[in-house]
């Protein structure tokens, strides 16, 4: 998903200054998601349903303002947009389902690992980028005959098929940093639906 911000004034809305139920059509070309959708008027965040409603569409989503909006008021809309190429087909089930319902925005830091002549591993961080991801705590339970074993991972992550994620990368969410250990592809009928990554908590 891509994060978009659009800036308007009340003059961009339908109707006349001070009217109720004025509407604003966004410029999105991919499906918008209610998760993370924020609307501000004159710097104040509006509450969904009581102060505005939104029709999340695959293009030109529409915001309807419940109360009056004047032409000189500033309006900011922040939202997530799914690329149009990812909203249909088999991979669209993940994008429009779990990712839209439970996805969060986390920071991915690409990491390059090299080994020097002494066999020491060195890690170099790349440029941060925001990605949409589903994070689930990993709670492995063992049978009695496996007592004493510890779980290997702290989190399971699910991401879209086109998102780049590699072993050793860092995922930061809510100030906690995780490292990617392994990644597997989930296919259905020859189409990649999503990627599954196992993460462990990192102090660095």
- Retrieve residue 100's tokens: 């839209």
Q: Give the per-residue pLDDT at 12.
A: 97
* Residue 16 neighbours by CB under 8 Å, 6+ apart: none
Report the alpha-carbon angle 172-128-180, nearest 5. Answer: 45
Q: Give the per-residue pLDDT at 125.
A: 92
pTM of the entire structure?
A: 0.51
* Residue 118 neighbours by CB under 8 Å, 6+ apart: none
- Among 120, 114, 116, 127, residue whose Cα is nearest residue 170: 127
| Domain final residue, candidates 86, 119, 146 | 86
User: How confident is residue 100, by pLDDT bands cut at 50, 70 and 90?
Assistant: confident
**Cβ neighbours, 10 Å, residue 5:** 9
* Domain co-membership, 131 together with 196: yes
Measured distance CA(199)–CA(178) in Å, rounded: 6
* Domain co-membership, 179 together with 105: yes
* Domain co-membership, 80 together with 105: no
Q: How many domains does the chain have?
A: 2
Q: Give the per-residue pLDDT at 193.
A: 83
* Domain co-membership, 174 together with 104: yes
| Domain final residue, candidates 86, 115, 146 | 86
* Domain co-membership, 107 together with 189: yes
Measured distance CA(172)–CA(109) in Å, rounded: 8
Give me the domain span that covers residue 56: 2-86
| Domain final residue, candidates 39, 63, 86 | 86
């Amino acid at each position: 998903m891509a994060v978009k911000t659009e800036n308007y004034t009340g003059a961009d809305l339908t109707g006349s200054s001070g009217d109720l139920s004025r509407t604003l059509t966004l410029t999105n070309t991919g499906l918008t998601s209610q998760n993370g959708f924020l609307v501000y008027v004159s710097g104040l965040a509006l509450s969904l349903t009581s102060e505005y409603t939104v029709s999340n569409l695959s293009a030109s989503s529409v915001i309807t303002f419940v109360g009056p909006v004047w032409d000189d008021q500033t309006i900011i809309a922040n939202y997530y947009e799914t690329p149009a190429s990812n909203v249909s087909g088999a991979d669209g089930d993940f994008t429009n389902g779990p990712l839209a319902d439970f996805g969060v925005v986390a920071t991915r830091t690409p990491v390059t690992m090299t080994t020097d002549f002494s066999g020491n591993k060195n890690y170099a961080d790349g440029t941060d980028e925001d990605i949409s991801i589903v994070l689930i705590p990993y709670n492995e339970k063992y049978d009695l005959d496996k007592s004493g074993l510890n779980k290997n991972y702290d989190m399971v992550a699910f991401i879209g098929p086109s998102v780049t994620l590699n072993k050793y990368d860092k995922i930061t969410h809510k100030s906690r940093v995780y490292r990617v250990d392994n990644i597997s592809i989930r296919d259905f009928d020859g189409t990649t639906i999503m990627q599954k990554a196992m993460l462990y908590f990192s102090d660095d």
